[in-house]
Amino acid sequence: MEKVIEILNRMQADGVIERFAIGGGIATIYYLEPYQTDDIDVFFLPVVLEDSGLVTLEPIYSYLANLGYYPVKEGILVENWPVQFVAPFKPLQEEAVMQARLVVYGKTPTLIFTSEHLAAELLRSGRPKDHARVINLIQSKQVDMEVFRDIVRRHDLTDEWNEFKSRYDLEE
Amino acid sequence: MSSSTVDLAKLTIEDIFRAKEERRQRLAALPFDKKIEIVDKLRSATAVIKNEKLVFESFLKAYPDFAGERIKEWDVVEEWYAKRGLTPPPEPFNKRPDIIALTGSGKRIGIELKNWLIQQQIGEARRRERIQDKILQAIEKPPNETQTIGYVWLFPKQAQFEARDAEGFRHQLLCQIAKADDEMARRPAFEELSTYDIENFCDFPLLGKYLHRIRFRPKARGRGTIRWIRFPDASRHYSPREMLESLDGALLSHRSDERYNKDLKKEVGLDEVYLLVHYDFKAFAYNTPFAAPGFGFKEAANFARESLNGDGGYFDRIFLFHFLSGQEKAERIF
């Protein structure tokens, strides 16, 4: 995976993307135990927007195609890892990219969602497996609850959080 | 909780949960790269199972009566035991053969899957791809501003491309293209459609370091604008001989592979063991083709049958399977 991170860093240095951070399963594994995940979710801030204001993935796809990496399913296969590029469509995701935590994988630095942003994003996406990860993150004391509650409040997730607490019988 | 301290008679549900939680915490405390190593192993194990399932599912569609009767149920070996709550046989028989199937009449069959490919060719092809990627990256995407050139083909040497040469290589290549463009423009009209080759790079040492040859195809035969600098298809010139030799070698070594001797049937409880040799996309992409004009899958199967000469070794039946989407074909060769 180190090679993938090197390529992502180079993409950022070459101005293909403004900034990126790893979220999803890989970020969860950074904080919790390893489990099977098939791809790397890369949340990125785009350099260019189309006239319509939409984000285009074309510069990413053509940059990686030039390096010999081509699309598979929803992502691009880079060094045997399917990488999914996700342009933030919620302010929460954008903030998660901007405030991501610097970590080192092998010898290569990269940015990963903070555990608080990760938990909030998993709460927002709301699939049962995401909820299970939120519980694990909180129970393993990886989440600073003050920070988390602040993120939840600022990003209008208070209702989801209250429902989550009552559904899973969670005490604060 | 180590195994030496466990008294099974006193084990409670709470103990199991506590042990699970301790294991979870121990794994969570591993360094990030160690965790990803575990993820990688989990991914590749799943990928192997997925691939075996895919191959066998497709084979079953192409040849439903391969066992002489219909198959009632089947699974990849690990799942065979897990799904049915069966205790697997001791190692190494718990992972052999790849597939276990039960026929309508209750016969239990094991099927071992093997690829028909030349591993060495795959390594060479991947090395070649890596070199080509580095060269493409170095030259970026210059526009075709030549007067006479339609396409440029680069014939790379098997030399590792060094990043520090990238800029110099690009510059020298563009100079060489400009020079060839001038020379091609001065050629007489009757040579207008001929390709023009350069093999001597004394003015451009970096090109000589990485390339055997550059071939310039004239614009009159088609003009490329985006991917106009490219590499020749490595598998253009071939004979099926190499692939058939590899099939011959593989069949002879598989049939006498001791891992599938009579102990396998006894330990796993199988009535019969089959071998399924498949030709799939990996071989198609990286190996020289086995097919040639007048020689196709049927002929390859006949060749394999003759190679075996009526001797399947430890296997009761052997099949050859062409596993390419839309072209699936299977033949019994023993």
**Averaged over B74-101, what is the pLDDT?**
87
E-strand ranges in chain A read 17-23, 40-46, 71-72, 75-78, 81-86, 101-105, 108-112
Task: Give yes or no: residues B66 and B209 share one domain.
Answer: no
Task: Give yes or no: residues B82 and B213 share one domain.
Answer: no
Give the end of a domain, one of B225, B258, B293: B225
Within-domain flag for B276:
yes
> Mean pLDDT score of chain A, rounded to an integer?
89
**Averaged over B126-140, what is the pLDDT?**
83
Task: Give yes or no: residues B55 and B186 share one domain.
Answer: no
For residue B296, what are the domain limits?
A: 48-120+238-332
How many angstroms separate the CA atoms of B125 and B118, rounded? Answer: 11
Give the end of a domain, one of B172, B204, B225: B225
pTM, to two decimals: 0.51
Q: Which residue of B33, B42, B130 is in closest CB contact with A105?
A: B33
Within-domain flag for B271:
yes
Within-domain flag for B129:
no
The ipTM is: 0.87
Q: What is the pLDDT of residue B7?
A: 64
Task: Give yes or no: residues B79 and B113 share one domain.
Answer: yes
Q: Contacts of residue A35 in chain B, CB cutoff 8 Å?
A: 39, 42
Closest-CA distance, B186 to chain A, in angstroms, reads: 34
Is A35 in Cβ contact with B40 (below 8 Å)? no
Per-residue pLDDT band at B1 (split at 50, 70, 90):
very low
Within-domain flag for B169:
yes
Task: Give yes or no: residues B279 and B328 share one domain.
Answer: yes
Task: Give yes or no: residues B311 and B282 share one domain.
Answer: yes
Choosing among B21, B24, B36, which should be mutated to test the A contact, i.e. which has the most A CBs within 10 A?
A: B36
Closest-CA distance, A137 to chain B, in angstroms, reads: 11
Q: What length is written for chain A?
A: 172
Within-domain flag for B248:
yes
pLDDT over threshold 90, residue B26: no
Closest by alpha carbon to B144, among B177, B185, B99?
A: B177
How many angstroms separate the CA atoms of B271 and B268, rounded? Answer: 9
Q: What is the pLDDT of residue B2?
A: 43
Task: Give yes or no: residues B111 and B61 share one domain.
Answer: yes
B316-328 tens-digit pLDDT: 999 999 887 677 8
E-strand ranges in A6-152 read 17-23, 40-46, 71-72, 75-78, 81-86, 101-105, 108-112
Task: Give yes or no: residues B219 and B150 share one domain.
Answer: yes
**Averaged over B189-202, what is the pLDDT?**
88
Among all chains, which residue has been given the structure tokens 């699936």? B328
Give the end of a domain, one of B175, B195, B225: B225
Total number of domains constituting chain B? 2
Q: What length is written for chain B?
A: 334
Closest-CA distance, B134 to chain A, in angstroms, reads: 7
Query: Within an 8 Å CB–CB cutoff, is residue B190 touching chain A?
Result: no
B227-276 tens-digit pLDDT: 789 887 654 444 567 777 778 878 888 888 888 888 999 999 999 999 99
Is A68 in Cβ contact with B132 (below 8 Å)? yes
- For A43, A64, B5, the CA distances from A24, given in Å and listed in that order, are 9, 21, 38
Task: Give yes or no: residues B98 and B245 share one domain.
Answer: yes
pLDDT over threshold 90, residue B148: yes
How many angstroms separate the CA atoms of B33 and B285, rounded? Answer: 32
Which helix (H) or strand (E) element contains residue B101?
A: strand B99-103
Task: Give yes or no: residues B199 and B261 share one domain.
Answer: no
Within-domain flag for B154:
yes
Task: Give yes or no: residues B205 and B285 share one domain.
Answer: no
Is A67 in Cβ contact with B133 (below 8 Å)? yes
Q: Supply angle C-alpha A134, A140, A143, rounded to 5.
A: 60
Q: What is the pLDDT of residue B233?
A: 61
Task: Give yes or no: residues B290 and B258 share one domain.
Answer: yes
How many angstroms separate the CA atoms of A113 and A100, rounded? Answer: 5
Query: Within an 8 Å CB–CB cutoff, is residue A139 touching chain B?
Result: no
Is A68 in Cβ contact with B133 (below 8 Å)? yes
Closest by alpha carbon to B320, among B293, B296, B285?
A: B296
